[in-house]
Amino acid sequence: MANNMKIGVFDSGLGGLVITQAFIKSQPQFDYFYYGDSAHLPYGEKTSGQILKYTLQGMRYMIEQNCKIIIIACNTATSIALRYIQQRFLPEYAPDIKVLGVVIPTVEVAAETNLKNVGVVATSATVRSHIYRTELHKINPNINVIELAAPELVPLIESNNFEYVEDFVKEYCNSFKDCGSLILGCTHYPLLKDMFRKYLPNVKVVSQDELMAEKLADYLKRHNEIYTCLGQNGLRDFRVSSLNKHSQKVAQNLFADIPLIKA
């Protein structure tokens, strides 16, 4: 049995590097492959058909790079494409590969306490899909879910332009002051979690970088058929479909010693 396969992390841009950083900190022994489809950023403003097309292209590329398990860190891609990938694409194209998303683990954490109001700030496509509302209501149909699209945030983060981000965050937080918890429903938003917590000191801000590492470790523990296939040489391979100086700066801030390569 091959034991040189990788843990893959897919995102529409660089936000997934925050999740990858948490994975590596938790389980540094594994080999990781990161692919950010920055050429088609932002996914959140694309049609569902475009999002599915680009995500499938990313899955094929990552499978070719010897990924055994792929985490779609992008909330937009998870909400639009994950079910199709798991039910239609993988059984035909790569039945031995596992692809997981970030929505269900996030919902589980957000709904751990008995809450009346849960907020979701996400991309336009994720909000249109209502995936967080749907999954929260499966746990508790009485939860009032307040969903808000924040289309300005991802482009500002990707361009390393944090100077104007806080003004938007402060404005968005006004909608969530009565919530028990707020889901940061985009992989880029963990980079802004301190800002959200600054303006929502009494709200539980659920940031995916703080929960996904534990969820992945638990999954691998329960799936030995995947665990035994993974390389444990500490290799890192980070690639994007489009590269510029701004994205290089964002990546360097997270991983100073690992180069970001154009795929």
Instruction: Please report the domains of the chain, with CATH numbers, ordered by start residue.
Output: 6-101+211-262 (3.40.50.1860), 104-208 (3.40.50.1860)
Which residues pair with residue 237 across a beta bridge? 33
Residue 2: burial class (beta carbons within 10 Å; 0-12, 13-18, 19+) = exposed
For residues 53-61, average pLDDT:
98
- 229 is a catalytic site residue: no
State the Cα–Cα distance between residues 18 and 191, nearest whole angstrom.
Answer: 8
For residues 79-107, average pLDDT:
97
- 74 is a catalytic site residue: yes
Q: Is the pLDDT of residue 2 over 90?
A: no
Q: Note the pLDDT of residue 136.
A: 95
Q: Note the pLDDT of residue 162.
A: 84
Which of the following is catalytic: 74, 173, 179, 229? 74
Q: Is the pLDDT of residue 127 over 70?
A: yes
Given a contact cutoff of 8 angstroms between Cβ atoms, the answer to whether 81 and 55 are in contact is yes
Which of the following is catalytic: 67, 173, 179, 186? 186
pTM, 2 dp: 0.93
For residues 49-60, average pLDDT:
98
Q: Note the pLDDT of residue 203.
A: 95
Three-state DSSP at 142 gives: coil
Cα distances from 207 to residues 18, 72, 140, 197, 223, in angstroms, run 10, 16, 21, 10, 25
Q: In which band, very low, low, confident or very high, does the pLDDT at 41 lie, cut at 50, 70 and 90?
A: confident
Does the N-terminal peptide bond of residue 42 adopt cis geometry, omega within 30 degrees of 0?
A: yes
CA-atom Rg of the chain in angstroms: 18
Q: What percent of the chain has pLDDT over 90?
A: 83
